[in-house]
């Protein structure tokens, strides 16, 4: 009899494909379920047709199939308390509790927490009254940032170059309620310029371990122009981040956040992902995410050397200090291929070809996000369709391989940014 474990990964994006890909390499994993998964995860395990926010159904499934461990990807499932419900049924689950996930799910909570804990962040004010918010806005000047407090599918942040844009954003969030209850409170904050950094930390609530740094590319267009997306590509690690900078991030952001959450009675176990900005006034925390970043995780899983199941179990059991987490040397990158029209409305059902050819290039792995299998045919089913990842001794080598692989892949209307990592290449000594 094998003593291998049964694992359930919750989510359907490139992040979940990357997590499932890494877990599938663990010698201790025998059976892998992905709910609901995508066209790529189907090749690694069994897709289960339950979406991430159906927490009762997911829990019933985990109990029935005697799942040994659940790894949760998406923010909304965490904010709904999936971890709490699973644990109440005795199922070990990786991720923060509903209370700890507030650090992402409520920007008002998160900003107030940062202020209390002395974590550097943009100057801000919070409002639940539209007239009061309008009055405050009238006393400020552009550029300025208006944010819906709740989860808004990554679309709740308005970086406004003019005051009329800011007024319109506020009106749409608070008066027209474009995000429903997620916009009942808003944060209005100072605009920060500078390079963005994605920091990730594994934590069991007390002990923690930092990942290498990464950088996402949020805007749809080259040179960071156009609408914000879920993320158009990532690189890791950032060649220009020094050991001194990492020590500062740990001391001023990571440690106070984890100590502060524990002191509040909501110890954070799982993956904490602070989004940082290197502004002219020093490092500032834009936000805390209570989960793995996407597409950051697609690059990260290519670099992680340690068995992901060992880490996940240690985070759940509170034994992370006993795990020596190792990352491979070199660099990884991910180039997102998306559907024409994304992040606006886009067409689906376009046939995808060339993935096999792309993966023949040494060091290349293609993760699926918005794909599904229609019989034998792989077709597009989402805005972000594929994440083409590559590793290399240098960042340039990784990027060259990824773009070479992109050249082999085709679907009608395929769009991608051609400058992923370009800014960081210029910083390379
Ligand atoms: P958030 O969900 O808070 O990370 O915001 C999404 C994106 O909006 C970030 O990745 C930044 O690119 C941008 N952003 C958020 N807050 C600010 C700010 N205070 N100044 C400049 N850009 C911001
Ligand atoms: N990298 C963007 C996100 O996961 O929120």
Length in residues, the chain: 429
- Residue ranges covered by each domain of the chain: 5-94, 123-190, 195-425
Closest-CA residue, ligand 1 atom 1, reads 287
Q: Could you read off the pLDDT of 129-178 as tens digits, one per residue?
A: 999 999 999 999 999 999 999 988 778 899 999 999 999 999 999 999 99
Angle in degrees, CA 394, 398, 402, rounded to 5 = 165
Nearest Cα residue to atom 5 of ligand 2: 293
Using a pLDDT cut of 70, give the percent of the chain over it. Answer: 99
Q: Which fold has domain 195-425?
A: D-amino Acid Aminotransferase; Chain A, domain 1 (3.30.470)
**pLDDT tier at 11 (50, 70, 90 boundaries)?**
very high
Predicted TM-score of the model (pTM): 0.96
Residue 429 has pLDDT above 50, yes or no: no
Q: Is pLDDT above 60 for 377?
A: yes
Cα 158 to Cα 43, 77, 114, 170, 325, distances in angstroms: 38, 24, 20, 9, 37
Report residue 12 as tokens: 């359907």
Q: Which two tokens stand for residue 285?
A: 């925390």
Q: Is residue 374 within 8 Å of 405, Cβ to Cβ? A: no
Tell me, what's the pLDDT at 154?
A: 75
Q: Please check the confidence at residue 376 and state whether its pLDDT lies above 90.
A: no
DSSP type of residue 358: H
Instruction: Check if 275 has its Cβ closer than 6 Å to any atom of ligand 1.
Output: yes
- Quick check: 26 pLDDT over 50? yes
Q: Is the pLDDT of residue 3 over 90?
A: no
Q: Which fold has domain 5-94?
A: Rossmann fold (3.40.50)
Domains 5-94 and 195-425 share a fold: no
Whether the ω angle into residue 135 lies within 30 degrees of 0, i.e. cis, is no
pLDDT of 367 over the 80 cut: yes
Ligand 2 neighbours (beta carbon < 6 A):
216, 231, 289, 293-294, 296
* Residue 1 pLDDT > 60: no
Q: Is the CB of 218 under 6 A from ligand 1?
A: yes
For a mutational test of ligand 2's pocket, the pick from 211, 271, 289, 299, i.e. the residue with the most ligand atoms closer than 8 A to its C-beta, is 289
Q: Which CATH number fits domain 123-190: 3.40.640.10, 1.10.10.10, 3.30.1490.20, 3.40.605.10?
A: 3.30.1490.20
Query: CA geometry: angle at 375 spanning 369 and 376, to 5°?
Result: 80
Q: Is the C-beta atom of 114 inside 6 A of ligand 1?
A: no
Mean pLDDT over all residues of the chain?
A: 96
- Cα–Cα dist 223/422, whole Å: 9
Can you give the pLDDT at residue 2? 57
- The confidence score (pLDDT) of residue 155 equals 81
Residue 180, pLDDT score: 93
CB-count burial class (<10 Å; 0-12, 13-18, 19+) for 302: buried
């Amino acid at each position: 009899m094998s003593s291998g474990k049964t694992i359930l990964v919750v989510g359907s994006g490139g992040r979940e494909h990357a997590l499932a890909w890494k877990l599938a390499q663990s010698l201790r994993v025998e059976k892998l379920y992905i709910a609901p998964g995508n066209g790529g995860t189907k090749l690694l395990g069994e897709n289960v047709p339950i979406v991430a926010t159906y927490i009762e159904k997911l829990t019933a499934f985990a109990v029935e199939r005697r799942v040994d461990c659940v790894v949760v990807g998406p923010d909304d499932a965490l904010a709904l308390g999936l971890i709490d419900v699973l644990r109440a049924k005795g199922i070990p689950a990786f991720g923060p509790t509903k209370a700890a996930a507030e650090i992402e799910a409520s920007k008002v909570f998160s900003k107030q927490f940062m202020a209390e804990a002395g974590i550097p962040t943009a100057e801000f004010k919070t409002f639940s009254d539209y007239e009061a918010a309008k009055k405050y806005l009238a006393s400020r000047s552009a550029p300025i940032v208006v944010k819906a407090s709740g989860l808004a599918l990554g679309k709740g942040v308005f970086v406004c170059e003019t005051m009329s844009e800011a007024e319109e954003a506020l009106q749409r969030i608070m008066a027209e309620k474009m995000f429903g209850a997620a916009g009942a409170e808003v944060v209005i904050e100072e605009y920060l310029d500078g390079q963005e950094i994605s920091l990730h930390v594994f934590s069991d609530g007390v002990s923690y371990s930092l990942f290498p740094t990464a950088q996402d590319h949020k805007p749809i267009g080259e040179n960071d122009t156009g609408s914000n997306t879920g993320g158009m590509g990532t690189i890791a690690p950032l060649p220009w981040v020094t050991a001194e900078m990492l020590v500062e991030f740990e001391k001023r952001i990571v440690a106070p956040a984890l100590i502060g959450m524990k002191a509040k009675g909501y110890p954070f176990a799982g993956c904490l992902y602070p989004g940082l900005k290197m502004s002219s006034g020093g490092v500032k925390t834009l936000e805390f995410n209570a989960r793995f970043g996407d597409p950051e995780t697609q690059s990260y899983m290519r670099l992680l050397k340690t068995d992901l199941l060992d880490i996940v179990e240690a985070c759940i059991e509170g034994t992370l200090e006993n795990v020596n987490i190792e990352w491979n040397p070199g660099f990884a990158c991910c180039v997102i291929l998306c559907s024409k029209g994304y992040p606006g409305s886009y067409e689906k059902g376009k046939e995808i070809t060339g993935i096999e050819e792309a993966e023949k290039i040494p060091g290349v792995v293609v993760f699926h996000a918005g794909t599904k299998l229609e019989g034998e045919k792989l077709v597009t089913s989402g805005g972000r369709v594929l994440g083409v990842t590559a590793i290399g001794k240098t960042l340039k080598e990784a990027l060259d391989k990824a773009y070479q692989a992109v050249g082999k892949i085709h679907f009608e209307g395929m769009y991608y940014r051609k400058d992923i990592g370009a800014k960081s290449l210029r910083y390379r000594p």
